[in-house]
Amino acid sequence: MTARPLKTVRWWLAIGGAAAASSLVLPLPSATAAAEDHACVGNAETTYEGGLNKVKKPVVVDGKGSLTCMEKGGEMSSGSITFSNRAAPGQLSCSGGNTSFTGQIDWADGTKSTFEAGKTETHKQSGVTALVFRGQVTGGEHQGKSLEGGFALSKDEDEQACGTKKGLTGSSGPFTLIFR
């Protein structure tokens, strides 16, 4: 497997719309890539222990959500996801930072996938700062595949909380995940 820099991934995140209707848009991969990729979308709720503010500092991120995925051949699957950086909190602020995650997906058919994501970067688009991560499925369904994903770290409407010492303590919004 050839490693590629995180900045050259074939997809990008764009979070747009009004505050009440923001959505994560995942451009469709090419026809060749679509046959190999397993794309998932859903919603996630995240909590930030230590609070996100304007200064990068160690912050524990815990997240949970639901996913619906399009598999090869047009089949659909769904499940719930949990993820955390509790083992090694990263240096984060409302405007971004770096961290790593471990997580698990409990699929509706009773199988599981565990993953580790060690590379992150942030992108700001349409008033939302998205945390984008890349890693590997380490166990269960899809073991050995790489994965890329992202979620809303903060939004422009969080600016007031981000300006306080306590900081932003949670967020919710769209979540994407792609297995390759």
CA distances in angstroms from 102 to 11, 105, 114, 164, listed in the order given: 22, 11, 8, 29
Domain ranges for the chain: 37-179
- Find the angle CA(126)-CA(132)-CA(134) to the nearest 5 degrees: 160
Q: How far apart are the first and last CA of the chain?
A: 11
Lowest mean pLDDT among 4-18, 84-98, 136-150, 163-177: 4-18
How much is the pLDDT for 32? 44
**pTM (global) more than 0.75:** yes
CA distances in angstroms from 65 to 13, 104, 176, listed in the order given: 18, 11, 11
Q: Stretch 13-21: mean pLDDT, rounded?
A: 31
Which pLDDT tens digit goes with each residue over 105-124? Answer: 999 999 999 999 998 899 88
- The yes-or-no verdict on residue 4 having pLDDT over 60 is no
Tell me the β-bridge partners of 1.
none
Which pLDDT tens digit goes with each residue over 44-81? Answer: 999 999 999 999 999 999 999 999 998 776 678 899 99
- The yes-or-no verdict on residue 10 having pLDDT over 90 is no
What confidence category does residue 36 fall into, taking pLDDT thresholds of 50, 70 and 90? low
Higher pLDDT, 6 or 78: 78
- Residue 62 has a CB neighbour count (10 Å cut-off) of 16
